[in-house]
Amino acid sequence: MPPARRHVAWMGAALTEASAASRTGDVPVGAVVVSEAGEIVGTGHNQREELGDPTAHAEIIALRRAAAHLRSWRLTGCTLVVTLEPCLMCAGAALSARVERIVLGAWDEKAGATGSVWDVVRDKRANHWVEVIPGVRAGECGRVLTDFFAARR
């Protein structure tokens, strides 16, 4: 399957995770980590409200699960797929984990750190760089968030 089609399919798994977050009152962001072989090795959705943990972002949970599955903190060759552009903390975690690429749905114009507000993962001062592939199923990813916040108003 061509890379673009794989990204679309993987984003579907991340969107499924996002829906799990909204059921617990968390902002509906979902993430999956995909191995170099194309296997989903980690999944996560926002659980800050559910767990009372400020670090329980979808990306952090998915990265932790992938590291446990692969028995290594180095996620070399892996792809992080996330419905919303990672924040500074999550972009830093992906960078530290040596993720090869980040596939993202919607941009986060307020707190994004992979190209919108900051570009931590491609900063030439870092010892590793991450490829960023934006806009995969962006409309769907953005609608999930818009609908969530509209229901809260």
Domains in the chain: boundaries: 5-146
Is 39 in contact with 15 (CB distance < 8 Å)? no
Whole-number Å distance between alpha carbons of 115 and 113: 6
Q: Residue 3's pLDDT is what?
A: 65
Give the closest residue to 13 by CA, choosing from 36, 61, 33.
33
Q: Model pTM?
A: 0.96
- Bridge partners (DSSP) listed for residue 13: none
- Bridge partners (DSSP) listed for residue 30: 45
According to the annotation, is 90 in a ligand binding site? Answer: yes
According to the annotation, is 69 in a ligand binding site? Answer: no
Structure confidence at residue 1 as a pLDDT band (50, 70, 90): low
- Residues designated as active site: 59
Is 83 in contact with 29 (CB distance < 8 Å)? yes
Domain 5-146, second-level architecture? 3-Layer(aba) Sandwich (3.40)
Mean pLDDT computed over every residue of the chain: 96
